[in-house]
Amino acid sequence: MRCGPKFSPANRRYQLRFWSAMTAYVVLVAMISWITPIDHLPDGWRHAAALLPVIPIGVVIWAMARALEEMEDEYFRLLQARSMLLATGILLLGATAWGFLQEYTDLPPFPVIILFPCWCAAWGVSAAWVSWRVR
């Protein structure tokens, strides 16, 4: 997400927050999956450890919200908000469609662990569409 000129303080802050959180995410996923597998931990500890990667994802979402607030150009802020809203709509519609197909056909359950990456992909598409619309 760009929040103003490439090297603006707001953009630097967003890049720092985003990449710090993503690094923490990768480290935590690697830790609970391969470095210190959590399969044999007692239930409470296992639940807590399994939720650790959710924290950096929360930080990424917070960083996106802050970047939107700190975006210097109000027109770009509107376009960005519009594309995020559209991405959310696409995701909700897709998830609902999957739910009905899962309920009434033999479609397997949706892997909700990829919900956020799906939203990011939908955001990429919607941002391109919104940019194309206002050319």
Partner 1 sequence: MRSLGRLRGLGVLEGSVKNRLKVLRAERDWSQGDLAERLGVSRQSVNAIETGKYDPSLPLAFRIARLFDLPIEQIFSDEA
Site residues for partner 1 per CB under 8 A: 72-76, 78, 82, 134
Handedness of CA 30, 35, 37, 42 (dihedral sign): negative
Minimum distance from residue 75 beta carbon to partner 1 (Å): 4
Minimum distance from residue 119 beta carbon to partner 1 (Å): 21
Which of 74, 106 has the CB closer to partner 1? Answer: 74
Q: Specify whether the CB–CB gap between 7 and 14 falls below 8 A.
A: no
Half-sphere exposure of 2 (CA within 13 A, CB side): 11
Which of 76, 110 has the CB closer to partner 1? Answer: 76
Minimum distance from residue 79 beta carbon to partner 1 (Å): 9
Which of 113, 134 has the CB closer to partner 1? Answer: 134
Which of 70, 73 has the CB closer to partner 1? Answer: 73
Minimum distance from residue 99 beta carbon to partner 1 (Å): 23
- Alpha-carbon torsion, ordered 21, 25, 27, 31, to 10 deg: 150
Q: What is the spatial distance between Cα 33 and Cα 46, in angstroms, rounded to a whole number?
A: 12
